[in-house]
Amino acid sequence: MSGRERVEIDGRVLTLSNPTKVLYPATDDRAEITKAQVVDYYRAVAATLLPHLRNRLLTLRRYPEGVESAGFFQKDSGGRLPSWVHTVSVPHRHQSGSVRHVVCEDESTLVYLANLASLELHIRLCPADRPGYPDRFVVDLDPPPGHDPRELRPLVRRVSERFEEVGLTPYVQTTGGKGFHVVAPLVPDCPVDEVLASAREMARRLAEEDRRFTVEQRRDRRNGRVLLDVNRNGHAQTVIAPYSTRARPGAPVATPIQPRELARARPDAYHLGNVARRLASKGDPWAEMDRHAVSAARLHARLS
DNA sequence: GCCTTCT
DNA sequence: AGAAGGCAACGCCGC
DNA sequence: GCGGCG
């Protein structure tokens, strides 16, 4: 396993440690993936990804020993970082003290994080400069074990339609796991607890109207139904960033899709080996998202 | 992966 | 000097 | 109050 390699990005010299280390072992249909390949992936999608990371507190999920090892979450960047890595400290809600989060504003930081084996980039729903006021609204569709992924498509459409009925513009991404996220941009003018209450109300109504959905968090009460998980709208919660790799065999990637692609979409269709090509030919379906932000306060009023 | 602390 | 340990968090609900 | 769940 070979030593170190220097790269220059944004006029900064970074040292990559163990670039040939295998982070994703080979699977039946995909070759092994090294850290250098993860770095190359993030460089290839940087222009698309960086706008989605700008001004967002990051939580890293790191796997220095590869995806077969346990890995760990990291919110507090703790020790020394290069001076050019942006961080924002936020106080704990209940305990004293604060957490110093990385905020990724440029390609060099993205590569720095990839070198730390950050195989999942999770983001908060509040802008870093507007803590406590979400500018994203998310519903996570989480199917039960053994669920046919094709049956999820009409359900994603149903949630998207409900978004439109309450004035939100829905944006869909595959999670790289088993489900989809339906996301909408908000004007951050409403406290997080009220946005969470709105999300719960929306999910509750959907589950009441359509028996294929549930809001039961206990597995043994879901009874084969698809969980509408809205808890991620709460304080200090996070969602997987678009275009983040996932720490699962085969290196799937959370990937935004067009509504029309739902007819054929699968939650694990995109991976480190095919996303750059997809972006080159189709562009980013979420590129214009921020233009469609609607007042979170108005959403809350409408759902009460 | 890297830093901090224990031995 | 080397080994060991750490690295998130919130709200729900059943018990 | 603790632990599973996401």
Residue pLDDT, tens place only, A120-135: 999 999 999 999 999 9
Q: What number of residues does chain A have?
A: 304
The predicted-structure confidence for A226-250, as pLDDT tens digits, reads as follows 999 999 999 999 999 999 999 999 9
CA distances in angstroms from A177 to A247, A250, A289, listed in the order given: 10, 11, 23
pLDDT at position A290 is: 96
Place of tokens 């802008």: A127
High-pLDDT (> 70) share of chain A, %: 99
Classify A157 as helix, strand or coil: helix
What's the pLDDT score for residue A199?
95
Q: Quick one: angle between helices A35-53 and A275-282, nearest 10?
A: 40
CA to C1' distance (Å), from A155 to C2? 56
Which amino acid does the sequence have at A138?
V
How many angstroms separate the CA atoms of A226 and A211, rounded?
9
CA A11 – C1' D6 distance (Å)? Answer: 41
CA of A140 to C1' of C9 (A): 18
Q: What does the block give as tokens for A113?
A: 């994080």
For A54-69, the pLDDT digits (tens) are: 999 999 999 999 999 9
pLDDT per position as a tens digit, A138-162:
999 999 988 999 999 999 999 999 9
Q: List Cβ neighbours of A180 (8 Å cut-off, separation of 6 or more).
A: A140, A141, A152, A156, A172, A173, A174, A265, A267
| pLDDT recorded at residue A94 | 76
Tokens read off for A18: 């163990």
Q: What is the mean pLDDT of residues A4-19?
A: 95
Instruction: Judge whether residue A236 contacts strand C, using its CB and a 7 Å cut-off.
Output: yes
Does the structure show a pLDDT above 80 at A111? yes
Cβ atoms of A125 and A215 within 8 Å: the answer is no
Contact A164, A100 (CB under 8 A): no
Angstrom distance, A76 CA to C6 C1': 11
How confident is the model over A32-53, as a mean pLDDT?
98
Protein residue minimizing CA–C1' distance to C8: A73
Q: What angle do CA A137, A139, A141 make, to 5 degrees?
A: 165
Prediction ipTM score:
0.86
Residues facing residue A119 across a β-bridge: none
The pLDDT tens digits of the residues spanning A157-187 come to: 999 999 999 999 999 999 999 999 999 999 9
Which phi and psi (to 5°) does residue A50 adopt? -55, -40
What number is the average pLDDT over the span A67-96? 88
Per-residue pLDDT at A1 = 54
Mark the nucleotides of strand D covered by protein, meaning any atom under 7 Å from a CB. Answer: 4-6
How many CA atoms, within 13 angstroms, populate the side-chain half-sphere of residue A121?
A: 30
